[in-house]
Every structure is written in structure tokens, then in C-alpha cells.
Chain A
Amino acid sequence: MGNIINSDLKDRIIISLAQSSFTYKLIRKVGSYYFRKSDSSFLFWLNFYTRQLEIAYQQKKPVVWASIFTPSELLYALDLIPLYPEMISASVASLNLADYFIETAESNFYSPDLCSFYRVASGMSLKNCLPRPDMVISTSLLCDGSVKFFQNVSRYYGCDYYLIDPPYERNQGSRKYLVNELKKLVQWVSKRTNEQFSSIKLRKALELANQSTLLIKKINQIREKVPAPLSGWNALAYQLYMYFASLGSRDGLNFYELLAREVKNNAIQDKGVVERECIRILWLHQLRPYYPNIIWQIMLDYKAVIAFEEINQVFWLEYDLTQPFSGLADKILANPGAGSLSRRISSIENLIKKYKIDGVIHFNQRGCRQSCGGASMIKDYLKAKGIPMFILDGDGIDKRNYSEGQTRTRLEAFFEILSQNR
């Protein structure tokens, strides 16, 4: 009985905290003090992220739950408040709070084999710890688990779901089909918000996205410099969040202006992320473990740095504002992770050359079947080219699938191989 009361009380506290504007204000206040010595881009992200949650709870505009590969440009143009459950799960894990929501999901029959990013988000939904969506939009791009998850979300909250299902090949026919799908999406949203679609707003969002993209390209170019002026470990965390969630918004542009300045300053001062940098790593796959772990520390011990990560590439062209849907469709189709594996391999090879990479780490997030499936083939290909690659099996969120000792041995052994090669 005592346990039930305690767990009820804990639930009530967590729900109240999650739903209160005060919590997000407090996080911003405390965060900006606690992290006062951190980069201003990080503080900007903290502000952006908590504000987005706060506004979503206020429901002044329709809230859309979207998958990370849904173009945020379009969501901003449609005047929606986008929430990305996968990335919220990552931030929950970084606060070491994922277990509670994983337990909730699993005790409600969500399989432990389901991607942990979705298990946490499902647990948060079940505990009423996320703002309610008015609609759900996702793509089947790269992530096969997302379709079922978002479909389930729409059923759970009783709201409608739109799936952008891009074709496998990148060709004229696919583009035409996808343009049509995106136009249908716009009508679908307008019908639900009773708002007329504004092509001016879309052009504005794409213009902002173009400006941000230009800055990302500039940042990526500066990152070619040795020593690495930007931490790939961070680039896989809050910077990744902005990459998915901010393009098409004024905040996105402001963020990338700050980040570009920081990276440029580091490069001018020859300030590397790691002192006396010895090993440059290319990190494959879009994620890393977000709970407290030893990977970064091991990298520091070996003077290794993530010089670049596959996910932060700019692979799409500048939007032609006269043909906005065509540009958006092409962005989805151009993703190197989609379609044939040879596309991904060719982009990886390019990154290896550009960023003077010594070794490649592919993080096999358990839930990402589409990515893990190709890892061995990428490794075989790179091995034939004399580039060492290490497949790190793990889980981005569920730390029950993480073993410190085994991770240490595998990673250290890989760095020992790289050190002997130098």
C-alpha cells in the first residue's frame, strides 16, 4: 500500500512539474546560471527547447508531433508548434530520467525490442508528461519504427495522422509524387486548423532555412580544420536538435549565427576540442548514447575527437523560392541514408577525405534497424580501402543495454589499433 501511495505521489509530482510553465522558466533560469560558462549556442538551445515545450502546453497554436525527418520548414510555414518526441526522449535520458518512462511503457505492453526513443516517448504520453498533439505528422524516411509509433500516438490522443512516405529512388517520378504528397499535407493541415495556407509564410520559412543552411555549410567547412574546432559529441546532442527542429524559424537562424561565431573563433585561435589532438573520428549514424556514459572520457584519454558526424551534413540544395515544394521533396529524397546503401557509402567516403579521418565509429543504436543492417557492409567496404571502422553496439536511451566495462574494452581496443597505425 505504501508503495502505491508513493508511486502515485511521484507520478503526480512528475506530471505537475512537466505541465507547469514554472518548471520551464525555472530550468531556463537555473540552466543559464549553472551553464553560464558554457557556449552561448548551448544556452540558446536550452532556451529554445524549454520555450517550445512551454508554448506547446499553452496551446496557443496547434501542436504537431513530428518525426525528426519531417521538414521543420514546412511546419513553421504552417504556423504549427512542432514537438519531436525522439529528441525529447534524448534530453530525458541525458537527465538520467529515462528509466521511469521505459518502465511505464513496458508495463503497458510496449516491447523492450521497440526502439528506446519511442519507449520513453510512449511512457511520457502514458504519464501525461508531454503536451497533447493536435495532429501527428511523420515520415517513413530512414526510421522504420517511427511509422507505427506515430500512428499509435494519433490513436492514443484521438487526433489525425499524416504519413509522408517517400519512394526509395531519387528520380523525377519520385520527386513528382512527393511534391504532390506535400501539397496534400498542406491541405490536410489547413483543413484541421481552419487556416488558409500562406505561400508567403512558406517562402519566408524557406528563406530562413536557406540562411541557416548557409551557416551550417560554413560551420562544416571550418570543421575541416585540424585541430577540430567543434565537439562532435555536442554536435550529436543539442546541435542535432536544432538541425532537426529549428530550420525555417528565426530562432534557427539566430542559433546558427551564434554557433558559426563560436566555431570560427575557435578555429582562428587554433583552439581544438581536445588538447594535442591525435585521432580524428567520423561518427556514423545520427545518434549517440544520451545517458551518462564513459565514451567521451575514453576519447579524451586517447586524444581522440569526433571531427565530424554523418548526420550533420548538408546534402540538400538551396531552396528555389519559386518552387518550394520541389525543394522540400528533394531534401527528403536527397538524404544519403535513404535509398541504396551505395549512396550512404559514397557520402561517408567523401567525409573521410574532407575531415582527414583516422577511423570510423558506427554507433549501432538497437532500435535503428535500417542503419545497423548496413553497418557491416560499410565496414567491409572501408576495410578494403584501409580505413578502420568499429561498430559500437549500444542503445541511445536505455542504459540497461549499456555495459561500461564492455564498452571500454571495445573502444580502447579500437583506439589502440588507431594509435598503432599512426
Chain B
Amino acid sequence: MVVAGIDIGAITTKVVLMNEQKIESYVVIKSRVGINQNARECFEQVLQNSGYQRKEVTSIVATGYGRINVPFAHKCITEITCHAKGAYWLNPAVRTIIDIGGQDSKVISISESGQVIDFMMNDKCAAGTGRFLEVMAQALEVALEDLGDLSLQSKKKVHISSMCTVFAESEVISLIADGYRKEDIIRGLHEAITNRIYSMVVRLPITDVIALTGGVAKNRGIILSFKKKIKKKLYLPPEPQIVGAIGAALLAHDLAK
């Protein structure tokens, strides 16, 4: 049975195509304004890559903030449930998921059978999200993808006190003007994000194993910062950005059964 999961995030759109619970193909593209069009393009691309026809896909589940705007999906399910499903499928030892997406970050607690027990999400500001790092990368004039490696070269800790994206941007600019090294500032930013998310993590039971998902989980500086802070086994999926879409595809499979 061929199924698809579509995760419409604030920054990226992800589609995963599965056949009998095996990933056939996946695509990650930048999200643009027209959610429906975006989803269609991404879906077409994944079909092209896998060689399947549209009619062969029996069930589609949409997730992510744009989920309600995908008319060709059979069902919408929240990213909380989808991330839980995806992470548990990838590693059944996972009991906590920290997902840091473009627009929000969430901590999900799951049971031994993989069901969501509880979850926490950031409040409505961008602190502790991918968007926060994007803005900071612009202020520092470095590529977003380079933030992780640069922070690993840090020699000195710089404390970032503002978590408001606008204020933190000004703080970063002031630190640059004061002669602080970019590498140290970036490390400070990563630690600020980690601390912010950690305050949500401790509201739920902290268990082994914790999965780190979402685009920000590709940042090696963030991974290191979390490892130091949480002191628990971290599970890093091979492609952390598509965990929600995998979960959506698995749920599409359950739906079609």
C-alpha cells in the first residue's frame, strides 16, 4: 500500500512516500506563500522521484501548520501526533521528542507503545525556534547552515540575555561592535535556545531516549549544547526534518488499513 505524509512547516515543506511502511522517497523544499501549490509541487516531485503514479497513492495525511490548506489530503493530523509516530517508528526506545521547527518548538512525551501522553509548546514568540536562528544568522552575516560548525570553534562563552528575537538581534549587533568573536556569540545563541527549550523539557518526565527532530536538529552546535544540558541519550534521526512527514505517512497507512 502506497501512502504519503505531507508536513507543511513555516520554513520547509516535506513529503514522504511510503510503501508498506518503507520509505520510497522524500522531498524537502522551501515553503512559499501558496500552501496548496507548495504541497502539490512537493508531492509531484516525490512521485517523480519514486516512479509511482498519483492514483497508486491510496492515502495522504497532512500535518504541520499548513495542514488544513492541503485539499488533496484525506486527513489532517497535528504535528504533535505525527512527530511522535515518526520518531517512535524510527527508534522505539524514544520516550521524549524535542522538535525545533521554524515557527515553534515542542516537547512531546510518549508512552512505551508510542502514544502521545503529553506535550509542551513554546509560547507565541519566535524565541527557541528556527526563525530565531535565521534572524541571528542574518545579523551575524553568516549562512544559516554554517552556524553549527562555527559555534564548535568557540573558545569563550558569551551570554545572550535577550530571548526576544528583536532584542536579541540588537544584542548580537552590540556584541559584534564590542569586538566579540562570531563563533562565541553563536555558541551563546545556541545555549540560549537550549535553555529556553530545556524549561519546557523539565515540565515533562525526562527519560532516555530523547529524539531531537526538526530542521534545527541538523545544527551540530545545538546538538552539543543539548547533550551538555540534558545529560540523557540523544537520538538523532538520519534526516531530522522529515520525522513529522514520516509520522503522517504512517498514520495515512493506518487510516487506509
Q: Do A and B bind?
A: yes
Q: Which of A102-110, A195-203, A403-411 interfaces with chain B?
A: A403-411
Select from chain A the residue with minimum beta-carbon distance to B115. Answer: A420
| Chain B residues in the interface with A (C-beta under 8 A) | 65, 68, 77-81, 104, 115-119, 121, 123-124, 203
Query: CB distance A409 to B121 under 8 Å?
Result: yes
Query: CB distance A416 to B104 under 8 Å?
Result: no
In this assembly, does A318 line the interface, its C-beta being within 8 Å of a C-beta of chain B? Answer: no
A376, A401, A403, A417: residue with the most chain B Cβ atoms closer than 10 Å: A417
- Distance in Å: Cβ of B216 to nearest Cβ of chain A: 18
Contact of B80 among A376, A383, A416 (CB under 8 A): A416
Q: Which residues of B contact A376 (CB under 8 A)?
A: 203
Known A416-B77, A416-B78; judge A393-B116 contact (CB<8 A): no
- Distance in Å: Cβ of A364 to nearest Cβ of chain B: 11
Q: Which residues of A contact B77 (CB under 8 A)?
A: 416
Q: Which residues of B contact A412 (CB under 8 A)?
A: 78
In this assembly, does A413 line the interface, its C-beta being within 8 Å of a C-beta of chain B? Answer: yes
Query: CB distance B124 to A409 under 8 Å?
Result: no
- Distance in Å: Cβ of A147 to nearest Cβ of chain B: 27
Q: Which residues of B contact A413 (CB under 8 A)?
A: 78, 80-81, 116, 119
Q: Offer 21 A-B interface pairs, CB within 8 angstroms, sorted by A.
A: A393-B123, A401-B124, A405-B65, A406-B104, A406-B124, A408-B68, A409-B65, A409-B104, A409-B121, A410-B121, A412-B78, A413-B78, A413-B81, A413-B116, A413-B119, A416-B77, A416-B81, A416-B116, A417-B115, A417-B116, A420-B115
Query: CB distance A403 to B203 under 8 Å?
Result: no
The SS class assigned to the A binding surface is helix
| Chain A residues in the interface with B (C-beta under 8 A) | 376, 383, 388, 393, 401, 403, 405-406, 408-410, 412-413, 416-417, 420
Select from chain B the residue with minimum beta-carbon distance to A394. Answer: B124
Query: CB distance B116 to A420 under 8 Å?
Result: yes
A252 CA / B78 CA spacing, docked (Å): 43
A401 CA / B80 CA spacing, docked (Å): 22
Q: Which residues of A contact B81 (CB under 8 A)?
A: 413, 416
Known A376-B203, A393-B123, A403-B124; judge A409-B78 contact (CB<8 A): yes
- With A403-B124, A420-B115 given, name 5 new contacts (CB 8 A): A393-B123, A413-B119, A416-B77, A416-B116, A417-B118
- Distance in Å: Cβ of B89 to nearest Cβ of chain A: 16
Q: Which residues of A contact B117 (CB under 8 A)?
A: 417
A408 CA / B79 CA spacing, docked (Å): 11
- Distance in Å: Cβ of B67 to nearest Cβ of chain A: 9
- Distance in Å: Cβ of A201 to nearest Cβ of chain B: 49
Select from chain B the residue with minimum beta-carbon distance to A416. Answer: B81
Q: Which residues of A contact B115 (CB under 8 A)?
A: 417, 420
- Distance in Å: Cβ of A393 to nearest Cβ of chain B: 7
Query: CB distance B79 to A409 under 8 Å?
Result: yes
A369 CA / B115 CA spacing, docked (Å): 33
A152 CA / B166 CA spacing, docked (Å): 34
A412 CA / B115 CA spacing, docked (Å): 15
Q: Which residues of A contact B203 (CB under 8 A)?
A: 376
A409 CA / B104 CA spacing, docked (Å): 11
A412 CA / B65 CA spacing, docked (Å): 12
Select from chain A the residue with minimum beta-carbon distance to B77. Answer: A416
- Distance in Å: Cβ of B143 to nearest Cβ of chain A: 28
Select from chain B the residue with minimum beta-carbon distance to A410. Answer: B121
- Distance in Å: Cβ of B100 to nearest Cβ of chain A: 15
- Distance in Å: Cβ of B191 to nearest Cβ of chain A: 25
